[in-house]
Amino acid sequence: LIGFSEWELDKKQDVVIHMTLFTDIRKGGLSDNPDDILNYKTVNKAVIQMVEASHYKTLEALATAIARVAVVDCGVPRIRVKVEKPGALRFADSVAIVIERTIEDFQNA
């Protein structure tokens, strides 16, 4: 769930998530071996599982939680997360926020 208006809390709201994962791809780029790269499917599954079980009032909190799962739980060195909420504002296709996070952002947090 996302939102804090009464009508938003009645049912799950659609969101669109874009993730850019920053990682060292040199070894995998040379070897063409999937074992030498970050497993994007693992990151995606972990994020989907968290999002489907979550309830956040703001896109900012949801984006931060997505970044935390990717960076802390899945070992992504740096991530850019964009979360869009279609139809959130009248006369707009969607509203969106973009954040970038690294492990340093979650230490001592």
Short-list 62, 47, 44, CA closest to 8: 62
Q: Using one digit for the tens of pLDDT, what is the confidence trace for 75-90?
A: 999 999 999 998 777 7
Q: Using one digit for the tens of pLDDT, what is the confidence trace for 61-77?
A: 999 999 999 999 999 99
Domain boundaries, the chain: 6-106
Residues 65-100, buried b or exposed e (16+ Cβ, 10 A)? bbbbbbbeebebebbebbbbbeebeeeeeeebeebe
pTM, full prediction: 0.86
Tokens of 78: 């740096």
Q: Using one digit for the tens of pLDDT, what is the confidence trace for 39-65?
A: 999 999 999 999 999 988 899 999 999
With residue 85 as reference, give the H or E element that holds it: strand 78-86
Average pLDDT, the chain: 90
* Architecture of the 6-106 domain: 2-Layer Sandwich (3.30)
